[in-house]
Structure 1
């Protein structure tokens, strides 16, 4: 089966010619054009360029840590909700600028939002979850319940 469209390394769509049966130079020109990696309209946010932020999740013996790089926001821009063991992190921002000069008026505005949700394991102590936002990094500490914490190895004596 031939491929009519493939996803390139940068997430954009590229086209291939499934009907190419010869090595004529003309086909090579078409293939060179259609095999280029074009930016995907599906991966762009036309309003502000804000994309879905990437997340780091780390587990230690006592906690889970979620870190999200979201520079340019204020901590008041975030909405963090825990509902039925689902942790949702979202934000909505609007920006509006009016500029009036002698012969023209310009008004620019933008809107950006995202929402990331994670199902938490039952081992998380929901009452002790803490979040902080510092220098563009949102950090969420998800402590484990006492019974779920990893115990250190111990030696067992043989009787």
Structure 2
């Protein structure tokens, strides 16, 4: 019989996977779409509720998504008592290619996917500045 801890073996396998294939299991998978006038970020966050998710925009270009969920259950059956706890968290920061307008941002969470819409900063008349010649 082996004295190996099976959970330690699983942890070691995940570490090897992360090192060899660049898979970070604590990060949030994201897609960033450029729709011309806005960036749309889709982030996979299955198993969370909308109140577990925090979205922040820093310096008009850095979007940080973090999620933290914990729950506790307790069951009693005769002289046996069971108390289980579960906690999961994930986060991701992405740098957008252009500045966005923080006033027009919006976020929605549905079916485990967070969608954040970030309108680009409007630069009207960006044809340069006319300099009169005397």
* TM-score with structure 2 setting the length: 0.68
Task: Please list, as runs of the form range in 1=range in 2, the aligned pairs for 1:43-122 lying within 5 A after superposition.
Answer: 51-85=26-60, 86-122=62-98
Which residue is equivalent to 2:8? none
Which residue is equivalent to 2:14? 40
Displacement of 1:145 after TM fit?
2.1
Q: Which has the higher contact order (CA 8 A, sep 6+)?
A: 2
* TM-score with structure 1 setting the length: 0.58
User: Is 1:128 aligned to residue 77 of structure 2?
Assistant: no
Mind listing any 5+ residue stretches in structure 1 that lack a counterpart? 1-37, 45-49, 149-159
Mind listing any 5+ residue stretches in structure 2 that lack a counterpart? 1-11, 19-24, 125-134
Q: Structure 1 residues 131, 115: closer, same or farther in 2, change over 3 A?
A: same
- Is the CA contact 2:28–2:91 (under 8 Å) kept in the aligned structure 1? no
Higher strand share goes to which structure?
2
Q: Structure 1 residues 43, 110: closer, same or farther in 2, change over 3 A?
A: farther
Question: What's the Cα RMSD here?
Answer: 2.3
Instruction: Give me the whole-angstrom Cα distance separating, in 2, the residues matched to 1:121 and 1:104.
Output: 57
Equivalenced residue count is: 106
Displacement of 1:147 after TM fit?
2.1
- Is the CA contact 2:48–2:67 (under 8 Å) kept in the aligned structure 1? no
Q: Structure 1 residues 121, 41: closer, same or farther in 2, change over 3 A?
A: closer
